[in-house]
Amino acid sequence: MGVRMNYRGLKDLLPESSVTMRALHILPAYSAYRTTYTLLRRSRRWSREELAAYQAQALSRLLEHAYEHVPYYRRVFRERGLVPADIATPADLALLPFLTKEIIQANLPDLKARNYPESAFEYVTTGGSTGIPVGFYYEKGVSRAREWAFMKTQWDRVGYRFTDRCVVLRGYVVGSAKENVYWKKTLLGRWLLMSSHHMTDETLPAYIDRIRKFRPRFIQAYPSMAVILARYMVEHDIKPFPTVKAVLCGSENLYPWQRSLITEAFGCRVFSWYGNSEQTVLAGECEESTHYHIFPEYGIVELIGRDGRPVTTPGETGEVVTTGLINPIFPFIRYRTMDAAILGDGPCSCGRPYPLLDTVEGRLQEYIVTKDNRFISMTAVNMHSGVFDNVAQFQFYQQQEGEVLMRIVKRPGYTEEDTEQILRELGKKFEGGVDVTIRFVGEIPRTRRGKYQFLIQDLPLDRWGLSECEEECRTESG
């Protein structure tokens, strides 16, 4: 019974837009899930030294494997006069160049491990939110199973069980306006998938009524989707859903104003995690804090500052550079994620000896560049302020330093006074370093995965300050 329940949970929780477990070999997938989940239940009791030893051994295996079976990495090692044994600890990874999205695009065949049959490769792509969509490979039926074992472990922290009812508000298109049905059940009726593309002031009362009748224990959502529902509930004085224990937010950056609004509307804990499609980093909050606890079994995380040096002081911001440990079929070693995060100051009071990120600031594309080349995170824009009460949606667009266009979808009560207040508020946030032009639009388009992009950043991607190192990487690795 336990095996069947775990497998069904694994099968139905995988994204519908990708290859699902129905098309995969059941036993390898379940074996990968079971083995990984068992490891994580054991390793959560390990000391910092035991976790470090495990990570060092996993890194050693990965580097030996990459050197022997992945042509791109063999070339990199030889060009640098290195062998895997020269990298004994995660700190020694600095001997290797960064792996960038451009390098992946140019070397895709040579990044595939040669000791896997072609039938084992599943081609996937990122959503392109950094401006550079990346194609790479999973191990068919195995990589996703390992991923779900980690996700289940994270959700265990807030009491999630396979038998729990869960509402899902992500990038799904479900139902139709013609039938006035915007949801469907899955996972033996335990999950209610709700369309994110039909959430309007006219339809939200039906959404709320359906959620209340479904009596979910958890709501899993893109933060931007949860905010649409939360804002409507707050504005119309609608009571929280009494059965909901936590809102599980992922796949987008969770801004402080979003967390505040969602918590106010739902009256429960918002639980956030950070990861990427490339399966190189996974970090989530715990029962006691909002710090992101990095899974050392999943990957190795470096924070690199704008000066190209490692960030070692808590509270400082750096770009997240990662080495994945769970997908050897297509290794990512020292991968520039183009995400920015703030180093945390551990250990956490929960007792887990994991490295911490204080916050994840989001993509580097989610920074506005000022006239004097300062970076201002989108976290500084508090949309839960009364100044934005008459704004239905917004989006910033930047092509020049110190200048942004703000697209606004107005609510019915919007007036010229709102425009003046918004410009004054943003002037304070940007400290006079950014000139803001407002343009009114009928709607803000979503990404192809159903997400709202709060900033479209058209300035060059290397402005974080690692351009010299990136150019060196390109030159040496071909």
Residue 309 has pLDDT above 80, yes or no: yes
C-beta pairs of 289-293 under 8 Å, 24+ apart in sequence:
289/348, 289/349, 289/350, 290/259, 290/359, 291/344, 291/346, 291/348, 291/356, 291/357, 291/358, 292/341, 292/344, 292/356, 292/357, 292/358, 292/359, 292/360, 293/348, 293/350, 293/352, 293/354, 293/355, 293/356
Residues 469-475, mean pLDDT to the nearest whole number: 41
Average pLDDT over residues 44-65: 95
Average pLDDT over every residue of 31-52: 94
Evaluate the omega torsion of the peptide bond into residue 331 and state whether it is cis, within 30 degrees of 0.
no
Kindly state the average pLDDT of the residues 389-410: 90
Q: Are 357 and 291 in contact (CB under 8 A)?
A: yes
Average pLDDT of span 291-317:
93
Q: What is the mean pLDDT of the chain?
A: 85
Report the candidate in 375, 378, 374, 373 with the shortest Cα–Cα distance to residue 359.
378
* Residue that wins the pLDDT comparison between 44 and 116: 116
* Contact yes or no for 66/333 (Cβ under 8 A): yes
What is the identity of the amino acid at 186? T
Does residue 395 register a pLDDT over 80? yes
Q: Which domains does the chain have, with CATH numbers?
A: 382-453 (3.30.300.30)
- For residue 411, pLDDT over 50 is answered with yes
Question: In angstroms, rounded to a whole number, what is the distance separating the alpha carbons of residues 276 and 341?
Answer: 14
Instruction: Say how far apart CA 189 and CA 166 lie, in whole Å.
Output: 10
Angstrom distance (rounded) from CA 294 to CA 354:
6
Residue 468: pLDDT above 60? Answer: no
Query: Which of these ranges, 22-31, 262-271, 398-407, 453-462, has the smallest mean pLDDT?
Result: 22-31
Q: DSSP strand E in 401-451: where?
A: 403-410, 435-440
Q: Is the pLDDT of residue 2 over 90?
A: no
Contact 454, 378 (CB under 8 A): yes
Interval 228-255: pLDDT, tens: 899 999 989 999 999 999 999 988 888 8
The string over 237-268, giving b where at least 16 C-beta atoms fall within 10 Å of a residue's C-beta and e elsewhere, is ebeebeebbbbbbbbbbbbebbbebbeebbeb
- Are 398 and 373 in contact by the 8 Å Cβ rule? The answer is no
What span, in angstroms and rounded, lies between the C-alpha atoms of 260 and 99?
36
Between 177 and 309, where is the model more confident?
309
Report whether pLDDT(452) > 90. Answer: no
DSSP letter assigned to residue 272: E
Mean pLDDT to the nearest integer, 378-394: 76
Q: What is the pLDDT of residue 462?
A: 55
Separation of alpha carbons 71 and 114, rounded Å:
8
